[in-house]
Amino acid sequence: AERMASRRRSRGPRAVCGSIYVDDYSTAAYISEHGVANLRYYAYTGVDLSFFGNLILCHWWNWLVRQVPLWVAPNVLTLLGLFCNVAAYALGVVLVSDSFTTDGPAWVFLAQGILMFLYQSLDNIDGKQARRTNTSSPLGELFDHVCDASSVSIFIMIICMCGRVGVWYTLLGVATAMVGFHSAHWVEYYVGELIMGKFNGPTEAVLSFIGVCFATAVLGTDVWRTELTFTTTFFGSALTIAQLVQVGGAVLVVFTVLQDAGKVASYCSLHRCSFVAALVEWTPFVVFSLSYALWAYASQCIAERGSGGGSGVAVMVAHPHLFIWSAQFVFTYLETRLILQRICKERCPTIYIINVVPLLAALNSAYFFIGGHALFDEKAILDVTFALTLSICAWMLYRVISQLTNHLGIAVLTI
């Protein structure tokens, strides 16, 4: 009974969602007065069913959090975890490969695995620290999920460095992870509870990433490049183990999304709300995804046909990290807004201005199908897209954190 009451409190009054609603950029506030008022209904209701987390790692996490001084703010631990991921990624870019095709020293992969383990540990004790210090808040949950969203591409790029899968399979892996993350938080927006699976939750996922890094350090990257001849029947050419994993992940995420859609459909049926309206809330993510897909496809067509300078290399192949990070900034923006709408019980906009940036970049390359070349230099457009998406995302995060700290009367990184 207490658990159900907590869920009801966490939901509070729901705003009408799914209608065509353009985000209001006429003010500097990202949370309306209605949303601020709804913060009083906040209560975290996540459930972690992780097999390894609850059976083994919980003992390590419980010991570790007791070593943290009570004056350390939970958000500091969250931020340190994100820094560990960024450091692991930076090691790979500098010392392994910036194109996901070359080998690197074993100690780098070992260090990446250790850094990801530190991230996982810090990510799992920040909530415990919040309860120890009685500082749990909507800001803490948002801060934690934003750091998780920001790490999505980092994890995939590190694993793809280990497998040397190339740019295209890396893009597939990044897209797969983003779809899965978005779908989980879309379900949470409705159901009011983030349920992390027993074997397919974030704990097991990060453990598998750590295992790949350690195995690569011992066995080398070539172990993942073993060609599987039976895949020729399905794909026309043999895929490596690492490439097949990316394809398998993409297939599995389709079933995951369908399962999540079933959960939301059941919720809508039970609460007499429109499932179609719920599907409309995928619009920003779909626009974002199709924009980058069109951009990649058009750029590859330009490269293959020798236009736009005749380099024969698509812009995302020549500069994969700029391309992926520009997408990551848009993704972080969209997921932050979705999580914020849930916490504040507000409607979900179906149109975000940030989506215009990659859409225009995609249309620039797609001009090739009309004029035989990109309208403007693709590298210059990629640079501008990277700068704009970073700026818009950073400004949004700054404003949201400012609003929450001002309303709640708390600091971000201190107690």
Give strand pairing partners of 239: 228
Contacts of 227 (CB under 8 A, 6+ apart): 238, 239, 240
Contacts of 320 (CB under 8 A, 6+ apart): 98, 99, 100, 167, 170, 171
At residue 48, the 3 state secondary structure works out as strand
* Best CA proximity match to 44, nearest among 161, 140, 121, 113: 140
Greatest CA separation found in the chain? 67
* Best CA proximity match to 117, nearest among 199, 177, 57: 57
Terminal CA-to-CA distance of the chain, rounded, Å? 33
Helices (H) then strands (E): counts for the chain:
19, 4
145 catalytic residue (yes or no)? yes
Give me the phi and psi of 254, to 5 degrees please.
-60, -45
Q: Which amino acid is at 83?
A: F
- Residue 117 token pair: 């383990």
For tokens 């249309």, the residue is 363
Sort strands 239-240 and 195-196 into parallel, antiparallel or unpaired.
unpaired
Residues 377 and 365: their CA atoms lie apart, in Å, by 9
**How far is CA 101 from each of CA 109, 167, 276, rounded to the nearest angstrom?**
15, 8, 43
CA torsion sign for 330, 333, 339, 342 is negative
Residue 1, burial from CB neighbour count under 10 angstroms (0-12, 13-18, 19+)? exposed
Residues 244 and 411: their CA atoms lie apart, in Å, by 46
* Best CA proximity match to 193, nearest among 78, 56, 49: 49
Question: Which among 34, 59, 145, 373 is annotated as catalytic?
Answer: 145
Contacts of 405 (CB under 8 A, 6+ apart): 139, 411, 412
Please identify every residue annotated as catalytic: 145
